[in-house]
Structure 1
Amino acid sequence: MASTIKDVAKKANVSIATVSRILNGQKGYSSNTKGRVLEVIEELGYHPNAVARGLISKRTHTIGVLFPYLSGSLVTDLLRGIEKAASAKGSSVIVCHTESDEEKTMKYLQLLGEKRVDGIIYTSQFLKEEHYQFLNKINVPIVLLSSKSDKFPIPYVKVDDFKAAYSATEYLINKGHVNIGMLSGSEKDRIAGKPRMDGFLKALESNNLPLDKKNIIDTGGFGFDKGAVGFEKLLKVNHGVTAVFAASDELAIGAMFAAYQRGISVPDEISIIGYDNINYANLSVPALTTVQQPFVEMGEMAGNMILDMLETNTIPKSQIVQHEIIERLSVKERS
């Protein structure tokens, strides 16, 4: 028969309340008492019931995380960071795959509300009015990750996409390139597409280079296939392009594949820089120069922000995480 908290208290010669405080990380006992109780817990093989702990602490020690997609190292790294923060504080993570579908997102928010999660991390997608109003209604702390909202007062963790895109473009300019194209993702994407496009254009303007929108290919997404097709479109409208800024590494790798099929050498004939520094960036041929987003660190920061909100009942400041250009072999200085 499984041991109970009453068995632990009796064997350790302490009260049930003391065992409960130790299990929930509360104060009010000596280090010797804590050590004795933990020894008894291990000896008896006691596992505290999650529901019972929730009734005592009014917390379920779970965090809900919404992802618009579940493939790629970007998601894996963000989740690693979130789980690292959650695990350190004795919490678990529930992952929901929304597919960027508004109705599916609402169903998951309702489910997380029913499960009484302690907080929600809303990742890589635009926060809709109806979703915000529902979160307000159930009064659950929320943090945006790789996203932000100019409309709603919600803390976020993200890279400044405008500045990062500006840096990537200026990196190509400093390498001597003046005819630069961009594979932009979708201009309708206010989280990543539009800010990166604006950063690209601003870098050209600041360096007195022509602002010709035909050099920007709206790929409609950030995947490998979009990059290959977008690269072909770019070559049709600009035969003299010498460098490409791709708004994601998958777009960049797709462009490099299309270049290879055409017999175009990267970086000897055309230079390409990506964005994200996913795991595959270092495995492409040639290895991809890219803008790094520190996804594991960002996920951990978001997880800690949620947990701090629960402990302090205060709203933390949003965090802009620094990007970095990782130099590899896909960009060549133009003589």
Structure 2
Amino acid sequence: MSSTIKDVAKKVGVSVATVSRVLNNLPGYSEDTKRKVLQAVEELGYQPNAIARGLVNKRTETIGVLFPSVSSSFSSLILHGIESVAQEHNYSVIVCNTAEDGKRTMKYLQLLREKQVDGIIFSSGLLEPEYNEVVRAMNVPLVLVATKSEFDDVPYIKVDDRQAAYDAAEYLIRRGHRRIAMIGGAESDRIAGQPRYEGFRQALRDHGIPLREELMQDGGFTFDGGLRAAERLLTAAPDVTAVFAAADEMAIAVISAAAKLGIAVPEQLSVVGYDDLKLAEMSNPPLTTVAQPLREMGELASRKLIAMLDSGAPAASEILPHRIIERQTVRALPAPPGP
């Protein structure tokens, strides 16, 4: 059975309050008492409870993080950034997997409330009004990452998805492609689905390329969904010379579907992804993709949250830059012959 603060007090012969003051660096005891308390803590293997400490210093030094898919490479990179900064400031991180449809979000928010976390980072999903109401009732700061806030007092960190998709399409257009398809998420997804479709369509319009809605498929931001979408697309539209996939997993699915159908990448089909996950470097051939600074986004979210805790002041939202990482899945087409 683990030792308690009462065991430490009894061993030293002082009150529980004195042990608490020593452990929280508060005044009111001699150096000799401090030495005896710390020696007893070591001998008994006492581990102070974070919530018990919080009763004294008003903090538990814990941050709650909610992801729709903890196991994904996307979430992992963001989480590494969050944890690295949290550790620098002596905060622990509680990670909650809310599931893709967010059905466990309310359950986990209640858990974080019971754990008395000092603040919350919410990633990727839509911050529904009922979620925001729960966090407000907790009276803790909230920061969003890889998603956009619809509440003026909730800061967020993300890239400009619409512009990033525009740049991906334009990258292909400037390399001579005119028959370009897109595999994205659901159009109803206001965070990543809708803006990426909008950016793609706008790039085609700006370059005078006719929009063919049948060349835009929903792959659900997953490998399996991307594979099904790519097989439908490449079978129904063999004239397509390039595909923009709005997630790296779907882009790799396009490469897999193309190989199955005997279509060479990039000789016959060019592919651009989105995110720049480690998978992009590992694909065959290595994937050209739009890079989001995911780890840096996590670091910044953590810094903003801790700054809000320290100052009590609100934080500003930030749009971070994206860039295209050129690898080996895009081929420039030769210019058409002149008249």
> Aligned residues, how many?
317
Residue number in structure 1 paired with 2:88: 88
Counterparts of 1:146 and 1:267 in 2: how far apart (Å)?
Answer: 30
Residue number in structure 2 paired with 1:316: 315
Counterparts of 2:9 and 2:290 in 1: how far apart (Å)?
Answer: 51
Cα-Cα RMSD = 2.7
**Kindly tell me: are residues 62 and 334 of structure 1, through their superposed partners in 2, closer, same or farther at Cα, counting changes over 3 Å?**
same
Indicate yes or no: 2:292 matched with 1:293: yes
Counterparts of 1:139 and 1:47 in 2: how far apart (Å)?
Answer: 28
Indicate yes or no: 2:198 matched with 1:198: yes
Residue number in structure 1 paired with 2:130: 130
Question: Over residues 4-61 of structure 1, what are the superposed CA-to-partner deviations in whole Å (9 max), with x where a residue is unaligned?
Answer: 69999x9xxxx98687348xxxxx9xxxx9xxx99x9699748654234212210100
1:1-335 matched pairs, under 5 angstroms: 20-21=24-25, 45=42, 48-151=48-151, 153-219=153-219, 221-335=220-334
Residue number in structure 2 paired with 1:25: none
Gaps of 5+ in 2: 335-339
Counterparts of 2:162 and 2:9 in 1: how far apart (Å)?
Answer: 54
- Greater mean deviation of Cα atoms: 91-100 or 236-245: 236-245
Counterparts of 1:179 and 1:49 in 2: how far apart (Å)?
Answer: 61
Q: Percent identity?
A: 47
- Greater mean deviation of Cα atoms: 95-104 or 248-257: 95-104
Counterparts of 1:299 and 1:7 in 2: how far apart (Å)?
Answer: 44
Contact conserved, 2:153 with 2:314, CA < 8 A, in 1? Answer: no
**Kindly tell me: are residues 288 and 102 of structure 1, through their superposed partners in 2, closer, same or farther at Cα, counting changes over 3 Å?**
closer
Q: CA deviation at 1:149?
A: 2.1
Q: CA deviation at 1:74?
A: 1.1
- Greater mean deviation of Cα atoms: 322-331 or 143-152: 143-152
Contact conserved, 1:246 with 1:252, CA < 8 A, in 2? Answer: yes
Contact conserved, 1:214 with 1:237, CA < 8 A, in 2? Answer: no
Counterparts of 2:126 and 2:20 in 1: how far apart (Å)?
Answer: 46
Counterparts of 2:312 and 2:123 in 1: how far apart (Å)?
Answer: 22
Per the normalisation by structure 1, the TM-score is: 0.87
Q: CA deviation at 1:174?
A: 1.2
Contact conserved, 1:242 with 1:269, CA < 8 A, in 2? Answer: yes
Contact conserved, 1:5 with 1:48, CA < 8 A, in 2? Answer: no
Q: CA deviation at 1:257?
A: 0.3
Contact conserved, 2:230 with 2:254, CA < 8 A, in 1? Answer: yes
Counterparts of 1:254 and 1:318 in 2: how far apart (Å)?
Answer: 33
Counterparts of 1:184 and 1:103 in 2: how far apart (Å)?
Answer: 23
1:71 aligned counterpart, secondary structure: coil
Counterparts of 1:208 and 1:321 in 2: how far apart (Å)?
Answer: 29
**Kindly tell me: are residues 41 and 206 of structure 1, through their superposed partners in 2, closer, same or farther at Cα, counting changes over 3 Å?**
farther
**Kindly tell me: are residues 77 and 41 of structure 1, through their superposed partners in 2, closer, same or farther at Cα, counting changes over 3 Å?**
farther
Counterparts of 1:151 and 1:247 in 2: how far apart (Å)?
Answer: 26
Amino acid across the alignment from 2:170: E
Question: Over residues 296-325 of structure 1, what are the superposed CA-to-partner deviations in whole Å (9 max), with x where a residue is unaligned?
Answer: 111111111111110000111111111111
Amino acid across the alignment from 1:300: E
Instruction: Kindly name which structure, 1 or 2, has the bigger radius of gyration based on alpha carbons.
Output: 2
Gaps of 5+ in 1: 23-27
1:66 aligned counterpart, secondary structure: strand
Contact conserved, 1:5 with 1:16, CA < 8 A, in 2? Answer: no
